[in-house]
Structure 1
Amino acid sequence: MDAFITSTITVAIAEIGDKTQLLALLLAARFKNKTAIISGILLATLLNHFAAAWLGQWLITWLDPQIGSYLIAASFFAMAIWVLVPDKMDDDTPGFYRFGAFAATFVLFFMAEMGDKTQIATVILSARYESLTWVVIGTTLGMLIANVPVVIAGHFSAEKLPLTLIHRGCALLFALLGVATLIY
């Protein structure tokens, strides 16, 4: 259950102000079908985070447990620094709009998550907890917790949130996960 709770909280917080959250806002402004957007986010996240969690599971099997623990802790510390760098949305998306709300959301979210903070966090969390299922469920729920309200309230803007404070809190959470990994 630790894997699920930690994955959910970590990704929900890390996603605030992230480029995929900005993408959710852009898609909500573009399309009226909120259910299709949310469904696209769900499916893209499940597939992307399953692949990331599988990679984390695979990588950890090849490492000595002590070295793996140090690498996971170092990765959490690196994520703590990375989340302090704000994301910007690249607007190269209009070509996908012609496919409709679901397909555009699925493709754009899947691509936006490639190498994103939350995808890398999923790899690290899966390696740390060695629980692919609970990490994928938790990280996917975290993405939905952060993005569904943005889709539903399409006029809601991430700029209204105290992003600096949120990013610092997320950095602290990753740093604490790094320390916990070294201790346990």
Structure 2
Amino acid sequence: MEAFLTSTAVVALAEIGDKTMLLAIVLAARFKRPLPIVLGILFATLANHAFAAFLGEVASFLLDGIWFRYLVAASFIVMAAWTLVPDKLDEDETPKPARFGAFLTTLVAFFLVEMGDKTQVATVALGAQFQSVLIVTAGTTLGMMIANVPAVFLGNALIARIPLGAVRAAAALLFLAVGVWLLLETAGWL
């Protein structure tokens, strides 16, 4: 349960204000068809995060050792700093929706935009920490949906009311807490 709840919380907080959340708003405004967009986000996230969690779990088995646990702890601390940097959606990342429809455009766009994104990197670290592809994928996917489904339905009104700086700070503190906790646990202090 710890792996699921931690994965959900980390990704839900990190995703708020992220470029994929901005992409959800852009797609919702262009297509005005929320269900295919939500399903596209769901399937893209499942594929992307399952791969990331698998990569993290495999890395934890291949690179088993105290130094690897310190590396995972450090990655969470680095993610804390990265989370404080606001994202923006670049013009060249905005999909051209008229060609493939809402679902396929969302599926492809979310899968590609999520590559190398902080939530994907966090999923790799969570997979390494908890060594459970299924539970980490379920948690991170739920976190993505918690952040992005309201963005699809409420869009710009939501962004205008949420203090993104405070959300980024909370997400950074969560990443930092997980990193420090893992660091202390690895050092044998917990």
Q: Which band: TM-score by shorter chain?
A: over 0.9
Aligned to 1:91: 91
Q: Specify the SS of the correspondent of 2:99.
A: helix
State the superposition RMSD in angstroms. Answer: 1.2
Q: CA deviation at 1:91?
A: 2.1
Aligned to 1:55: 55
Aligned to 1:16: 16
Q: Specify the SS of the correspondent of 1:156.
A: helix
Question: Counterparts of 2:162 and 2:81 in 1: how far apart (Å)?
Answer: 20
Report runs of 4+ in structure 1 exceeding 3 Å deviation.
Answer: none
Contact residue 3 and residue 135 of structure 1 kept, 8 A:
yes
Contact residue 40 and residue 106 of structure 1 kept, 8 A:
yes
Pair 1:5 & 2:5 matched = yes
Is 14-23 or 157-166 further displaced after alignment? 157-166
Question: Counterparts of 1:148 and 1:95 in 2: how far apart (Å)?
Answer: 21
Contact residue 22 and residue 158 of structure 1 kept, 8 A:
no
Is 56-65 or 91-100 further displaced after alignment? 91-100
Aligned to 1:154: 155
Is 156-165 or 56-65 further displaced after alignment? 156-165
Question: Counterparts of 2:13 and 2:170 in 1: how far apart (Å)?
Answer: 8
In the alignment of these two chains, the number of paired residues is 184
Aligned to 2:139: 138
Contact residue 29 and residue 155 of structure 1 kept, 8 A:
no
In structure 1, the gaps of 5 or more residues are none
State the percentage of identical aligned residues: 55
Q: Which amino acid aligns with 1:142?
A: G
Question: Counterparts of 1:140 and 1:130 in 2: how far apart (Å)?
Answer: 16
Is 7-16 or 154-163 further displaced after alignment? 154-163
Question: Counterparts of 1:51 and 1:158 in 2: how far apart (Å)?
Answer: 29
Question: Counterparts of 2:167 and 2:2 in 1: how far apart (Å)?
Answer: 22
Pair 1:41 & 2:12 matched = no
Question: Counterparts of 2:151 and 2:48 in 1: how far apart (Å)?
Answer: 20
Question: Counterparts of 2:160 and 2:71 in 1: how far apart (Å)?
Answer: 34
In structure 2, the gaps of 5 or more residues are 186-190
